[in-house]
Homo-oligomer: A and B are copies of this chain.
Amino acid sequence: MIFHQFFEVESSTYTYLLASEQTREAVLIDPVASEIDIYTQYLEMHNLTLVYSLDTHVHADHVTAANLLRDKFGCKTVLHRNSGVNCGDIFITDQSVIRIGEINIEARYTPGHTNACTSYVAEGMVFTGDALLIDGCGRTDFQEGNAEILYDSIHTQIFTLPDETIVYPGHDYKGRLVSTVGHERLHNSRLGAGKSKAEFVEIMNNLNLPYPKKIDIALPANKACGQ
């Protein structure tokens, strides 16, 4: 398997490329519109064909590259059915699988940050979007956010994966690249060490976060799959 982690500095967004060595087919998870030249260069350099662009949810902090990539490479745009957008090609639901060459990418529905959040599991890795972050999680105070639902999603869909599963989040704001399911289950300061749902909800209800600065631009753009 070919794997690459990209970082977009303005919104601290991680984008992931997975590709089959056999078929040279590639997918991008959570691509950012401004970075399309970087993805193009990487694909060309490694002789890869972009087949799918997957978004873990409708982002509020950056604009997806879905449309740009579809226009450029003819790839299919994949989103959860609950995303409320009608510009996608394939609307997956829990347990749907997208396959490229020898790689199966399984969708796990993990709502709570938004109503359409999906994590993707492949090759011992889980791409958690904004559901589970490293030592944190996505906020739950907008876009149908719900702390109780997020707690259940993380416990039933992510923490049930093997301890050694590598966690690749949708963002990190402190330079951390990667974690594991076992580490987050033990040490995540909002969810780790057996914190109860009530404790988690209490934490989430008292974050006092500012209004997301790009939401009024990013949400309408992403509901149209980007630029």
Contact = CB atoms under 8 A, between A and B. Distances in A.
Nearest to A82: B95
A172 to B, nearest CB: 30
A96 B96 contact: yes
A224 to B, nearest CB: 14
Contacts of A90: 90, 96-99
B98 A81 contact: no
> Which size bracket describes the interface of A in this complex?
10 to 19
Nearest to A107: B93
A88 interface: yes
Interface in A80-107: 81, 86, 88-100, 104
A93 B91 contact: no
Contacts of A95: 81, 93
Contact of A94 (B76, B89, B93, B97): B93
Contacts of A89: 98-100
Nearest to A77: B99
A55 to B, nearest CB: 15
Contacts of A88: 99
Nearest to A79: B97
Contact of A81 (B76, B91, B97, B100): B97
Contacts of A97: 81, 90-91
A214 B18 CA distance: 40
A48 to B, nearest CB: 16
Contacts of A104: 86
Contacts of A86: 99, 104
Interface of A: 76, 81, 86, 88-100, 104
Given A90-B99, A91-B99, A92-B92, 5 more contacts: A81-B95, A81-B96, A86-B104, A91-B97, A93-B96
